[in-house]
Amino acid sequence: MSGFTHFDEHGNARMVDVGAKEVTERVATARGAVLMQPATIALIRQGGIKKGDVLSVARLAGIMGAKKTPDLIPLCHPLALTSVAVDLTVDEARNAIDITATCKLAGKTGVEMEALTAVSVAALTVYDMCKAVDKAMRLTDIRLVHKSGGKSGTYEGA
């Protein structure tokens, strides 16, 4: 059905059978950002957010999100991740928190969804921790920027 792998010949949703695939080293990196008011950036930098250290908590939340991806996204395979790295940086010029997540494993299926979930959950955590002072924050530009391993090879995005 239209080349989508998560549908059978009758259009029913299905989990893709990866049993015959080769085990390869697989890596995926995703990025995104949370845009906010300059005053919110200043509070984060000064440790003035009442819920705690925003960047540290969001980093942990992103890692936990990657590990919980198959519980959140239907038809995702449970994976034995070997590494999840989530980095958050403050860009004062853009009034943004930039988030990058990289997930790795040796397996039969890729880790793109885990990297994207890590960024999304980290961004949602930043929003949750700061919403009392800035409800107008925007989560933006969440995307896959790198993928390697498996039959489809390497992808490099912007």
Q: Does 98 qualify as catalytic in the annotation?
A: no
Which pair of tokens denotes residue 25? 């080293």
Question: How far is CA 31 from each of CA 34, 86, 87, 122, 140, rounded to the nearest angstrom?
Answer: 11, 10, 10, 11, 9
Residue 59, sorted as left (phi over 0), alpha (psi -120 to 50) or beta, turns out to be: alpha
Q: Which amino acid is at 65?
A: G
Best CA proximity match to 117, nearest among 79, 157, 156: 79
Catalytic member of 8, 17, 53, 128: 128
Distance between CA 129 and CA 138 in Å, rounded?
14
Catalytic positions: 128
